[in-house]
């Protein structure tokens, strides 16, 4: 099992520049803690998640690190020219000395399809076409310069357990990528379908909300405001509304109102929450069920200091507990 951190450049309190630089520092800190991977999101026209160009973030982090792998979670393939994105990925692979993971998604927020002039019903097919072309360009295309350092840059395809998308990934040998709301059952069913098509199990990148505290109840309560605010802001972008303000104090009243419109609890129902032992046990369950797991943590906090503290506890206390149990991956 590989472990990593999911960075969305979330602007709770600071300026855009401060927020962007803070995520680069978190990536540097993740390497110092011994994590294996950092994954950057891609969001457009969004005053909360300030990351319209993940390749710039990946380049900045590559210049500050030497070991940790750096991935996109995920590049919205339909909005790119294939050859141009292939060049960017190849350049990043050289800059990072061969540490790039390339994740792709189809996108679909209202502003995205409007301003990139796309048809929502065609996004999945466009993603398939773009990814195939990018793969071809990175795999020996004579005009592509620079060539990537890796013989094969790892590709991952984001899916909500869509059979068509899983089949596409299996056909090409790409990994799968699941969001914070994906259930363990969905992941297991996807890996079995993939195996039935490809004859082997996929690498699976699984995002999980993460919060460690004294007990499960305390962790849930602590994680709730930041997680709900993220969901609220994403819904605002989809509805072409302004970014809401973040107010910790009045969240109890807001939450009851919010769940009438969106079941944000799905993120927390599948989260890694609790004390050190509880978090370790939840991760062990994932490791037992998913054969080639990349567990990517999304610390549920509006504070950079608190995020750092949770990552430190994971590295210092939770990860050794998981390693002590020595569970084979995908034993179930």
pLDDT digits (tens, 9 = 90+) for 27-65: 999 999 999 999 999 999 988 899 999 999 999 999 999
Q: 2-325 sits in which CATH class?
A: alpha beta
pLDDT in tens, 246-257: 555 544 544 443
Alpha-helix residue ranges (DSSP H) falling in the chain: 16-33, 54-64, 82-95, 110-115, 123-138, 163-172, 184-198, 216-238, 251-258, 265-269, 276-289, 304-313, 319-325
172 pLDDT higher than 70: yes
Question: In the predicted model, what is the mean pLDDT of residues 282-303?
Answer: 96
> pLDDT above 70 covers what percent of the chain?
90
Q: Report the chain's mean pLDDT, rounded to a whole number.
A: 91
DSSP helix, strand, coil percent of the chain (3-state; round to 5): 50, 15, 35
- Residues 244 and 236: beta-carbon distance below 8 Å: yes
332 pLDDT higher than 70: no
How far apart (Å, rounded) are the C-alpha atoms in residues 77 and 74? 8
Q: Following CA atoms 182, 263, 19, 220 in sequence, which dihedral angle do they give, to the nearest 10 degrees?
A: -80
Question: What are the boundaries of each domain within the chain?
Answer: 2-325
Query: What's the pLDDT score for residue 171?
Result: 98
Out of 15-19, 52-56, 141-145, 327-331, which region has the weakest mean confidence (pLDDT)? 327-331
Strands 2-7, 37-40: pairing kind: parallel
Query: What's the pLDDT score for residue 238?
Result: 64
Out of 150-154, 230-234, 242-246, which region has the weakest mean confidence (pLDDT)? 242-246
């Amino acid at each position: 099992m590989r472990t990593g951190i999911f960075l969305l450049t979330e602007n709770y309190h600071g300026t855009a520049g401060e927020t962007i630089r803070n995520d680069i520092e978190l990536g540097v800190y993740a390497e110092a803690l011994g994590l294996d991977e950092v994954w950057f999101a891609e969001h457009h026209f969004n005053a909360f998640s300030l990351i319209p160009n993940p390749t710039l973030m990946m380049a900045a982090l590559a210049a500050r690190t030497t070991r940790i792998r750096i991935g996109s979670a995920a590049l919205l393939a339909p909005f790119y020219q294939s050859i141009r994105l292939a060049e960017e990925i190849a350049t990043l692979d050289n800059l990072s000395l061969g540490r790039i993971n390339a994740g792709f998604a189809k996108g679909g927020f209202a502003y995205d399809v409007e301003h990139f002039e796309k048809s929502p019903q065609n996004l999945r097919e466009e993603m398939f076409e773009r990814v195939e072309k990018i793969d071809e360009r990175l795999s020996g295309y004579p005009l592509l310069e620079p060539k990537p350092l890796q013989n094969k840059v790892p590709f991952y395809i984001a899916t909500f357990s869509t059979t068509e998308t899983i089949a596409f990934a299996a056909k090409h040998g790409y990994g799968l990528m699941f969001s914070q709301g994906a259930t363990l059952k969905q992941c297991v069913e996807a890996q079995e379908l993939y195996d039935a098509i490809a004859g082997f199990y996929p690498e699976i990148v699984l995002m999980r909300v993460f919060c460690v505290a004294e007990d499960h109840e305390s962790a849930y309560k602590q994680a709730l405001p930041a997680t709900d605010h993220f969901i609220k802001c994403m819904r605002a972008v989809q509805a072409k509304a302004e970014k809401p303000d973040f107010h910790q104090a009045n969240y109890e009243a807001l939450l009851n109102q919010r769940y009438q419109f969106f079941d944000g609890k799905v993120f927390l129902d599948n989260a890694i929450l609790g004390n050190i032992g509880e978090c370790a046990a939840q991760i062990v369950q994932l490791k037992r069920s998913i054969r080639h797991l990349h567990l990517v943590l999304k610390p549920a906090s509006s504070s950079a200091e608190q995020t750092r503290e949770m990552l430190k506890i994971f590295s210092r206390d939770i990860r050794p507990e998981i390693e002590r149990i020595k569970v084979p991956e995908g034993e179930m």
